Structure 1
Amino acid sequence: MLRENPDGAPVRIYGTNVDPSAPALAACDVGEVEPHRVGNDVYADFALDFCRRHGVDVLIPPRRLDALAGRAEAFAALGTRLMCSSPGAIGALTSKGRTYEAARAIGVPVPEWRVVSDADGLRAAVEDLSRAGETVCIKPAGEYSAFGFRILDDSPLSMRDLLQPARPLVSVNAVADALKRAADGQEKVPQFIVMPYLDDPEVSVDCLSAPGGRLLAAIPRAKEGRYRLLLDNPAYAEIAERLVGHFRLAYLSNVQLRHRHGRPVLLEANPRPSAGIFQTAFSGVNLPWAAVRLLLAGDPGPLTGLRLGGRVAVTETVTEVTPGAFADAA
């Protein structure tokens, strides 16, 4: 979408990943391995050095935003514009508990939730939330994407379960035991969110907004097997607009919703572009390029003619990777 931008501007893509074999690097003109499991200062120094060495004009970070958000002036001194919201917004949205508290305060529907970090807290949260016959799930409360998500289920497996596609199920006892072993071993235990398992469809709203949080475009999409639906439902965009405005999000962000008793509720809000933003390519608006224009020139370009209500297919393709393409980076 960046290369095939509506302005016909030449674009050169630089990418980094902790895994030298990451397929995403094959799509870049220049790929490099980034440091893994390092502190914010080390990561920020790496990013600054990378942009300096390669003369990067625009940096669009999909992760480690907490390491970079406060360094906009340092990047600007190198000639690099950082596409990122404020450190305050990043800090609030990195914690799902704080996100839910803020969302509830501004009238955005949120599920019930409990924040836990030990075995006793987990058992109490599950007992509390499952009283009404709810299916309960758990996930890390920080920035872990979908990693760590589990549905808590103590019921015995049936033959039907064994013959169906696998689901991310785990027993309450297994999770409680893992938390206790970690605490006994003095491991660092992050906070977890325990909450009801919400209903489909899951809706992801890709947002473009001006600095300060004014929403310029919102594209809701949902999964339907191999297809993605570009939804024409103002209710989803209204929730996204309220959150983007409250947190004063800038440029690209993403709001994820699921449903409870037929109404949309907040799942999470991310101050970064979603991994699935490419699925909006047929909406009539090139969100990534509009964000680049907005960052560099203060003008996103035309945002009219948004096409919603359609369905697109997500297909696989095979790309040849030149042997040794990232030998220098490794």
Structure 2
Amino acid sequence: MDSTDTSRFEASRNRLASLAYRLLGCAADAEDAVQEAFLHWQAADRQLIKVPEAWLTKVVTNVCLDRLRSAQARRERTVGAWLPDPLLDGDPMLGPADTVEQRDSVSLAVLTLMERLSPLERAVYVLREAFSYSHAEIAEILDITESTSQQHLHRARRRITAARRRSGGEVAPASARRIVEEFLAAASSGRTERLVALLTDDAIAISDGAGLTEKLLRYDTAQRIAAVARAGFTPTPAKRRFAGGTPAIHHALVNGAPAILFVLGDQVIGAVTFDITGGKIATVRGIAAPTRLARLTETWRQHEPDTPLITQW
């Protein structure tokens, strides 16, 4: 394979990675899928490929579908035991973000809800909403009919609408930062009543338990969430020993949503993200499993962070 063929693939790498991430929700799996597509590209008779972009899109999509259908994926991605990898805003793996639909399709809320879709419904939704492929093009990519593609999209949109209602749509950056700062101040000071006031009546909190539990931890009352947040955000010597030191706490945008990052040196050791609706917090997600934070840490190291909200937690 000559340099022209390699360059042609590399020009598509970020787009393919953002497609694979939306389909799989896991950065490492997305990178593996793109690398597998590169091996297919190397082995192919490229003179017969009339539209490389379309060919590569089909290969990556089908590699991802094979992964989603595998027995291992079904075990690992059971509802209630899986969260998508968080990505720092600016990461090229997040892909196109020009429209509301494109931004929604990479939010943690939608990526989580897409686990309830069939692999084909997920693929149709991503190809249509995030990459604006026509139903004729999607039919070609997935080897289905146009009417089947339309049916899959209709079902997927109906389910995804629930996530959009809950997340409340986009929030002005200044407002989002203010809410995050208020949450952090209330949680770290132990002001439970102020935490409850920041949450919607039907707020939920989800945590991966730093990867130490097989199932996600879930809390579904404002009072319980406030109590858990107060306990979790109050620093103690034991927590610092577990973290390996005294992290700084930064505000950031993760998958388009406001977030708090715990950073020790140049390593992100924890991320707490927020879905905001009506000026209040509807969903809190705590992610601390190192495997889920690997890509975010890599991007953070190339990022010029703002002044920490808390220099030493």
| TM-score normalised by length of structure 2 | 0.23
Q: Which one has a larger percent helix, Structure 1 or Structure 2?
A: 2
Q: Which one has a larger percent strand, Structure 1 or Structure 2?
A: 1
| TM-score normalised by length of structure 1 | 0.22
